[in-house]
Structure 1
Amino acid sequence: MRRLLIGYDIGSSSVKTTLLDADTGKVVSSDGQPKIEMPIDSPQKDWAEQDPMMWWKYVINTTKSVLNSGAVKSGEIQGIGISYQMHGLVLVDQNQEVIRPAIIWCDSRAVGIGNQAFDELGQEFCLSNLLNSPGNFTASKLKWVKDNEPENYAKIHKAMLPGDFIAMKLSGEIFTTESGLSEGVFWDFKKDSTSQELLGYYGIDQDLLATAVKSFSETGRVNAYAAELLGLDIGIPITYRAGDQPNNAFSLNVLNRGELATTAGTSGTVYGVSDQPVYDPLSRVNTFLHVNHEQLNPHYGVLLCVNGTGILNSWLRRMLGGESLGYEEMNALAAEVPAGAEGLCFIPFGNGVERIMENKAVGAHLSGLNLLKHDKRHLLRAGQEGIVSALTFGFNIMKNMGLSLNTVKAGRANMFLSPIFREAFVNMNEVNLEFYDTDGSQGAARGAGIGAGIYSSDQEAFVGLEKVASYMPDQKLVEVYKEVYQQWEVNLEKVR
């Protein structure tokens, strides 16, 4: 009998589900829905919300799809892993019913709350104990609900992250992870426990938080209700859970000091692993517990995030051609103009506040527009180069924190499918880029295998993971893109 694993990746754009053969490491079947991006509601300026039941609907649909495509037999599925969009806030009542829409990662409403906490708790305390400013993270979002929606706050049984919600829907059990609490800036790294100082300052009862466990551990089993809805067997264990960026790093076998992973979806990230609790004094990049962290064998994930990444590229698509303009055509058009887009420059910060800009809403800006010269080809190239420049800005912060940035791993997906984007990324940052045929849902499935005890080691979990391409800097292009970045910095200073 086959041993199969299910991995869910709950994004803000789509939900992807993969059925993985645990013994070969190969995908049996996979499906992502919806085929167009899920809506993000913004009822007020700088707000970003989604209905958690929308995620659950697509979990149901994609599960049925992969089970049918994989011709799954009863007893074959050995474990379930969940990856999810980080920093979101989901609130449920005693009946496990959703109280209000989820406040998701790119929502900016709690910035002022977090900044005030940073000052009043003390920057030294926050950086040395929390490794971050409370900023716009989950704890501050929960405080916002407490202050602004007391009737909703009074109904809360548990506050959770998006992945915790999906696990609850599958099992009826409510747990979170230590890594997840650190993502929400609820975690005291010195005490290796929930921060009582932060909870006390915000006036949040510890009981509102779910019990925290390790990322690789059983946190419930599929119950009869979920089994009937999804077509699964009752009793399949849920054995892994992680935020999308730690999980993306895990899916690329990035587990040890000095290793790096990157993504370029709706947001763009670089995630590095350290064995020291490092932090940026301005909290422009953020440190969390990595999925394999143990108190006696520490692993920390340092996350650089640029909100305005694929969302800028999709905006350009809508503005310049809509459904009739495909991403491959956009990449080909961008390649028709030289690096630097003949003086056109994009600042891509138009998707909420940006952490690397010290939690300020800098906005998106187009500079150097020449109405007699520039056309959509220049816009497309400037957009991609502007995104890479923003990532480079964050790269430099990470270098100043002491992280070694030489080789970066990425899944073959999203904006890294663009030759222009890859060329700019490799040469502007002077790094080697390794491409792997994997994604977050595959990583979640492999994590489930570790948590279920199917794999005896991390390395055994990565059987079947293949490097499909490598890209290295070209010294001539390094000089070209150095000039592109320097001009981008000049334009950034003007708009700041």
Structure 2
Amino acid sequence: MFLGLDVGTSGVKAILVDAEGEIAAAATTPLSLETPAPGWAEQDPEAWWAASCAAIRDVLARRPSARVEAIGISGQMHSSVFLDQRGAVIRPALLWSDGRTTAECREIVTRAGGEAQLRDWVCNPALEGFTLPKVLWLRNHEPQGFARLAKVLLAKDFVRLRLTGSIATEPSDASGTLMFDPANLRWSREMLDAVGLPLSLMPDVGGSAEVLGRVTPGAGKLARLEPGTPVVGGGADNACGAAGVGAITPGEAVSSWGTSGTVLAATAQPRVDPGLRAHTFCHVAPGVWYVMGVVLSAGGAFAWYRNQCARELAEEARDDILVDEAAAIPPGAEGATFLPYLQGERTPHRDAGLRAAFVGLSLAHSRAHMTRAVLEGVCFALRDSLEILKALGLAPAHLLLTGGGAKNAFIRQLQADVFGLPVTTVNREEGGAYGVALLAAVGAGAFPDLQTAVQRTLARRPPTPPNLDIHRAYEEVYDRFRKRLVAART
């Protein structure tokens, strides 16, 4: 068996995958999110480790005879773990959705000598969600904590540290730090020198399918794993999610709904958006990159709305009831629009100060209209990213779906209608956890490479085509969505 572990924002998922690619068991341990101030988002890294151990114990309890041959870890990107010389956590991690670092982003651009240098050095803009601004925030606002700083890790790499004692990362996650050069696969000394940070803060970089550590006896006891079990490099959640649906070759594209949402397209070279509206990162497949647009609140926007506006519904049926209600409302929600910018927005606006809004509500609108507006608003925000990919010459013929937006037939059809493209899913629904389990299988020698692993384990389901009449109707509604951006800035 191969163990895939996905350290998300809302929970840690563990799955067991057998040599044929079948999912033998799955378990999830929830996580909580702290928001000490508007626009801030934090989690305790030790909570990730505790939840990881709990999820692993739970999934192994479901298959007591399972022998884990290798482990892969995926995780939320950008979130900063600050460690001292002893490996102790200095403060709660600033997450990918944290928007407090606008001043530090301006500082980075100034120190680098302009955005053109960022494009050359790290292929990406200075955005609040990335890791480097968080390091500078620690230096600027908590100097005593910064004085203790010895290493900066990402979420999955912190769990690997606790699991194996090894301090390491791999290119797909390193790409999102703003301190790594995705084109040349190395830490950017130019960037680090410009902001006055030493290279020693950064972990060593290995391959996504390379064994970068082994389970220690102490960690094995906590997680009920055999000491010495190999742990591969793994990858960033979006890259592993793409691998989990087989999108690892140039020309493939994926739309993902997690807490955030993304649209990404795999490329054979590191392609950089001239306007730096989309991101350029390394994939978990060697020699492959991807261009990605990010919606900070996708599933997170729906979860917020559900928890605030449908508390009286039974929790286990709440999502299905809301979606069924929305499906009865005509496209466009009869004039109601939702702007899903609860934590600001990355693509295409690059504005941490944006805020969510319902616009166009009247006494004639019901909860069902509002639900439909929320779902449409998320799809329109994802389409903003798709339009950038098209402008870069990366227009896909279809989109693979993963995450929550892939599991419901109405939301699949909604995406097809808004995007104007066929959408499809695969025979696995575990996303990043499945992709990283395949990387573990490659690292253990069960498959010669990730491409072979994908070919032998994944099958695509029949596509959901767009309703062209509804797509044409959505063109006007999408234009309305874009014009109402002003409401998010007031």
Establish whether TM, by shorter chain, passes 0.5.
Answer: yes
- Report what 2:90 is aligned to: 99
- Report what 2:158 is aligned to: 165
Question: Residue 80 of structure 1: which of 50, 71, 83 is its match?
Answer: 71
What secondary structure, in the 3-state scheme, does the structure 2 residue paired with 1:88 have?
Answer: coil
- Written as runs of structure 1 = structure 2, the 5 A alignment for 1:220-231 is 220-231=213-224
C-alpha displacement of 1:352? 3.5
What secondary structure, in the 3-state scheme, does the structure 1 residue paired with 2:425 have?
Answer: strand
Please give the alpha-carbon distance, in whole angstroms, between the structure 2 residues aligned to 1:190 and 1:289.
8
Aligned residues: 481
Question: Residue 49 of structure 1: which of 42, 45, 59 is its match?
Answer: 42
Please give the alpha-carbon distance, in whole angstroms, between the structure 1 residues aligned to 2:471 and 2:149.
53
- Report what 1:27 is aligned to: 23
What secondary structure, in the 3-state scheme, does the structure 2 residue paired with 1:449 have?
Answer: helix
**Runs (5+) with no aligned partner, structure 2:** none
Instruction: Check if 1:183 corresponds to 2:180.
Output: no
Query: Is 2:206–2:233's contact at 8 Å kept on the other side of the alignment?
Result: no
Question: What code does the residue aligned with 1:431 have?
Answer: L
Please give the alpha-carbon distance, in whole angstroms, between the structure 2 residues aligned to 1:200 and 1:464.
44
Question: What code does the residue aligned with 2:56 have?
Answer: T
Instruction: Check if 1:431 corresponds to 2:421.
Output: yes
C-alpha displacement of 1:173? 1.0
Please give the alpha-carbon distance, in whole angstroms, between the structure 2 residues aligned to 1:168 and 1:209.
13
What secondary structure, in the 3-state scheme, does the structure 1 residue paired with 2:247 have?
Answer: coil
Question: Residue 411 of structure 2: which of 403, 421, 443 is its match?
Answer: 421
Instruction: Check if 1:139 corresponds to 2:139.
Output: no
- Structure 2 CA distance for partners of 1:263 and 1:323, relative to 1, 3 Å: farther
- Report what 1:454 is aligned to: 446
C-alpha displacement of 1:157? 2.2
**Runs (5+) with no aligned partner, structure 1:** none
What secondary structure, in the 3-state scheme, does the structure 2 residue paired with 1:424 have?
Answer: helix
Question: Residue 11 of structure 2: which of 14, 17, 26 is its match?
Answer: 14
Instruction: Check if 1:328 corresponds to 2:317.
Output: no
C-alpha displacement of 1:366? 0.9
Please give the alpha-carbon distance, in whole angstroms, between the structure 2 residues aligned to 1:88 and 1:319.
26
Question: What code does the residue aligned with 1:86 have?
Answer: M
What secondary structure, in the 3-state scheme, does the structure 1 residue paired with 2:64 have?
Answer: coil
Question: Residue 407 of structure 1: which of 398, 408, 433 is its match?
Answer: 398
Please give the alpha-carbon distance, in whole angstroms, between the structure 1 residues aligned to 2:243 and 2:407.
21
What fraction of aligned residue pairs are identical, expressed as a percent?
A: 30
- Report what 1:358 is aligned to: 350
Question: Residue 195 of structure 2: which of 188, 194, 202 is its match?
Answer: 202
- Report what 1:379 is aligned to: 370
Instruction: Check if 1:236 corresponds to 2:225.
Output: no
C-alpha displacement of 1:417? 3.0
CA displacement, residues 412-464 of structure 1 (integer Å, 9 cap, x when unaligned):
x4133344422221122111111122322111111111122221132431333
- Structure 2 CA distance for partners of 1:171 and 1:262, relative to 1, 3 Å: same
- Written as runs of structure 1 = structure 2, the 5 A alignment for 1:99-118 is 99-118=90-109
Query: Is 1:334–1:420's contact at 8 Å kept on the other side of the alignment?
Result: no
- Report what 2:2 is aligned to: 5
Question: What code does the residue aligned with 1:480 have?
Answer: A
Query: Is 2:169–2:233's contact at 8 Å kept on the other side of the alignment?
Result: no
What secondary structure, in the 3-state scheme, does the structure 1 residue paired with 2:348 have?
Answer: helix
Deviates more, 1:112-121 or 1:11-20: 112-121
Instruction: Check if 1:300 corresponds to 2:270.
Output: no
C-alpha displacement of 1:330? 0.5
- Structure 2 CA distance for partners of 1:402 and 1:285, relative to 1, 3 Å: same
Question: What code does the residue aligned with 1:25 have?
Answer: G
Question: What code does the residue aligned with 2:329 have?
Answer: V
Question: Residue 317 of structure 1: which of 296, 299, 306 is its match?
Answer: 306
Query: Is 1:384–1:420's contact at 8 Å kept on the other side of the alignment?
Result: no
TM-score by structure 2 length? 0.94
Question: Residue 480 of structure 1: which of 473, 481, 489 is its match?
Answer: 473
- Structure 2 CA distance for partners of 1:191 and 1:30, relative to 1, 3 Å: closer
- Report what 1:259 is aligned to: 252
C-alpha displacement of 1:191? 4.3
What secondary structure, in the 3-state scheme, does the structure 2 residue paired with 1:57 have?
Answer: helix
Please give the alpha-carbon distance, in whole angstroms, between the structure 2 residues aligned to 1:492 and 1:123.
25
What secondary structure, in the 3-state scheme, does the structure 2 residue paired with 1:215 have?
Answer: coil
Please give the alpha-carbon distance, in whole angstroms, between the structure 1 residues aligned to 2:84 and 2:107.
29
Please give the alpha-carbon distance, in whole angstroms, between the structure 1 residues aligned to 2:396 and 2:121.
25
Q: CA RMSD in A?
A: 1.7
Query: Is 1:238–1:448's contact at 8 Å kept on the other side of the alignment?
Result: yes
Please give the alpha-carbon distance, in whole angstroms, between the structure 2 residues aligned to 1:417 and 1:469.
14
- Report what 1:67 is aligned to: 60
C-alpha displacement of 1:494? 5.5
CA displacement, residues 52-107 of structure 1 (integer Å, 9 cap, x when unaligned):
1111111111111111111235xx21110000000110012222221110111100
CA displacement, residues 172-197 of structure 1 (integer Å, 9 cap, x when unaligned):
11111122221111122454421112
